[in-house]
Amino acid sequence: MPLIPHIPELVFGLVMFAILYFVVAKYVVPNIEKAYAERHAAIEGGIAQAENAQAEAEAAKAQYEAQLAEARAEAAKIREDARAEGAAIVAEMRGQAQDEANRITESAHKQIEAERQQAAVSLRGEVGRLSTDLAGRIVGHELQDSSSRAGLIDRFLAELESGQVQPEKVGQSQQGDA
């Protein structure tokens, strides 16, 4: 029968299979398992190292972000301090400028008032002198007495300032009489 093998070949095949199984189980499988264990350990170690590296990177990133936020806050504080200091300097300079302007204005007012009084005194004296000269020409004699002249001038100017004396045109009084 062709499908049934010979018994000696079957025994020889089984013995060879057993020897081959023994050699593979004794020498090959332990080496394969050892290589598998090493590779597994390397992979697990790599994963652990990657996780540690990732955790360290995240910690470094968090620290960097905290430092960046702190730096931004400090920069904002410095900007605000600079703005406040600038505003204070501007306010101080405005105050000094206003004080200086007030001082100059007050000085100018005092000077103007002094010059006005001086001009009034000078004008009063000049008007008095001219008035007495004119009155002397009109009356026909000279008003030499200084006390009477000064009294006359003061009285005339007081009446003129109070509005009691109204200036008249010379031509009107003569036309009205004619």
Domains of the chain, residue spans = 7-115
Give the pLDDT confidence score for residue 33 in this predicted structure. 94
At 94-141, the pLDDT tens digits run 999 999 999 999 999 999 999 999 988 888 878 777 877 777 766 655
Dist CA 139 CA 1 (whole Å): 189
pLDDT for 168 beyond 70? no
For residue 169, is it left (φ>0), alpha (ψ between -120 and 50) or beta? beta
Dist CA 49 CA 52 (whole Å): 5
Banded model confidence at residue 1, pLDDT cuts 50, 70, 90:
low
CA dihedral 63, 65, 69, 74 (to 10 degrees): 60
